[in-house]
Structure 1
């Protein structure tokens, strides 16, 4: 049927079939992933950071995202970034053959999309998305996956830092790579959370129970002794009882002290010799007769 103006409609205007699936240009997708920030959609510029899923960001964009408390955040691109510790600053090697936008200011020059700003410092391949690249969480160095396979080592090829297999993160990987990295990220965060919980009770115990020296665990030297010992020590200090050695011959032991009267033993004359007895004035040899003794006593030597 025709319209009033004499136009004839075509078949695709009257019959609507299924929509065609739009094909994404792979070159444009690679340029967007490797040259633009996944959060702010701006051109990548140093300092450049990467998350635990292998996406590239501008560091200032991540900081603004973390400081922004509004509810209009782009949660899809950076919902897994909770703090600045969840990203790693990358150490990238510049490509000497890359000229940038200097030669195409007038628009009369073809832009080579295969040319990239950064290269692998080990193999020399360009980081344009045609080759798989990865970085290390421990140091942030970036190099191609080909360098890891050809030169197998347990330390970084550029800085020499030691790393393990779970420290290697693929940049802009496939869906399978992203799922694997996501599982590792959740496991790592769960382990860190459990570690914090185990540290908190230990810190609380150290605060509630101060350190007690081992010597104080036993009975006190003052209060743990017998009352007789303490009373004897106090009497010795007051001067009521003279100090003397222990009966067992040990000067350091206080528990075996005896009174001073117990140390005085009577002298047995039967077991002593005459020579020893003559030393005392009570001996018969020391006594004088009346004839030998004078009838007067003087205290000075000037007597005439």
Structure 2
């Protein structure tokens, strides 16, 4: 069976087979990850930050996301505060030239990157693995980190193996980074609780110590150094008053005739001899306002 023109069709042209899934453009995917913000898809501009999962963001976009409570982003839902991101210390590529617009008749190399590794000089375009250190934020290539060292090759700060975060890693690497992030947050939460409990115990011990010292000081100061037990053994003011009042509650009792009363106290009353010689009446009866 032929077609017009004497052509003979093949089997794959007549029988429908399962179509292959659409292949992603690797260059376009790399440009989207390494040159654009993961939240807004805008071009990366300094300052650039990264999370514990190794994604790249504009710091301005992260701040706007945190301030706007109504906004939501599935790719950045693990970012709660600015402490969850690290500002990256990137190295500029001196050979990079930014173009405003590309011409249609020229070749455009999308692999050129604005940033490079400060040690090896590899471009940060997705072709090579890059990592950043959580302690200092310096971005280095994986090839540079193969040189075993306890300090950063760029700034000289010390770091550990757990501080290395892979930028834009594969799914397996992202899952490992997520497990590490959750473990760090759980450890920080436990340390915060233990520190809070230690502070509460210290405060309680301090209060007990202060109370004990106050009790001892009060016992020493009462009645010129008398102890608390001695004060408790002595009669109170009400008991002492009840013991003295029966003697002075008699009708025949007079302060003027009491030998134990001082002259200063006796002079306050009109029965004193100085009050009898006064020309004016007593202040209570003086000018009683009887009109």
User: What band does the TM-score fall into relative to the shorter chain?
Assistant: 0.5 to 0.7
SS at match of 2:206: coil
1:40 maps to what in 2?
Answer: 40
Instruction: Mark the runs of 5 or more structure 2 residues left unpaired by the alignment.
Output: 1-11, 231-291
Distance 1:210 1:21, change over 3 A: same
Query: TM-score with structure 1 length normalisation?
Result: 0.63
Give the deviation of 1:223 after TM superposition.
4.8
Residues 55-99 of structure 1: CA deviation (Å, up to 9, x unaligned): 0000011111111111x5122x10111111000000100111111
User: In structure 2, how many angstroms separate the alpha carbons of the residues matched to 1:179 and 1:169?
Assistant: 12
CA contact (8 A) 2:86 2:134 kept: yes
Q: 1:217 Cα deviation (Å)?
A: 9.8
1:109 counterpart residue number: 106
For 2:128 and 2:36, the matched residues in 1 are separated by: 17
Does residue 138 of the first structure (1) align with residue 131 of the second (2)? no
**TM-aligned CA deviation for residue 52 of structure 1:** 0.2
Confirm or deny that 1:73 pairs with 2:69.
Answer: no
- Please state if 1:119 is matched with 2:116: yes
Q: Distance in 1 between matches of 2:76 and 2:177?
A: 15
Where does residue 242 of structure 1 map in the other structure? none
**Which structure 2 residues correspond to residues 181-220 of structure 1 after superposition, within 5 A?**
181-210=177-206, 212=209, 216=213
How many residue pairs get matched?
A: 216
With normalisation by structure 2, the TM-score equals 0.66
Give the conservation status (yes or no) of the 8 Å contact 2:102–2:108: no
Give the deviation of 1:208 after TM superposition. Answer: 4.3
Q: 2:154 aligns with which of 152, 158, 178?
A: 158
Give the gaps of 5 or more residues in structure 1.
1-11, 228-304
SS, match of residue 203 in structure 1: helix
Q: Deviations over 1:9-64 (max 9, x none)?
A: xxx9xx97645411111111111110011111111010100000000000011111
Offset at 1:205?
3.3
Q: Which has more helix, going by share of residues?
A: 2
Give the match for residue 88 of structure 2. 90
Q: Deviations over 1:118-141 (max 9, x none)?
A: 000011111111111000001100
Partner residue, 2:29? 29
How far apart, in 1, do the equivalents of 2:229 and 2:96 lie? 92
Pick closer, same or farther for the CA change 1:23–1:217 going to 2, 3 Å: same
- Separation in 2 of the partners of 1:51 and 1:180? 14
Deviations 1:240-278 (A, max 9, x none): xxxxxxxxxxxxxxxxxxxxxxxxxxxxxxxxxxxxxxx
Three-state SS of the structure 1 residue aligned to 2:146 is helix
Q: Shift of the alpha carbon at 1:207?
A: 3.9
**Which residue of structure 2 lines up, in the alignment, with residue 61 of structure 1?**
61
3-state SS, counterpart of residue 210 of structure 1: helix
Kindly report the root-mean-square deviation, in angstroms, between the aligned alpha carbons of the 2 structures. Answer: 3.0
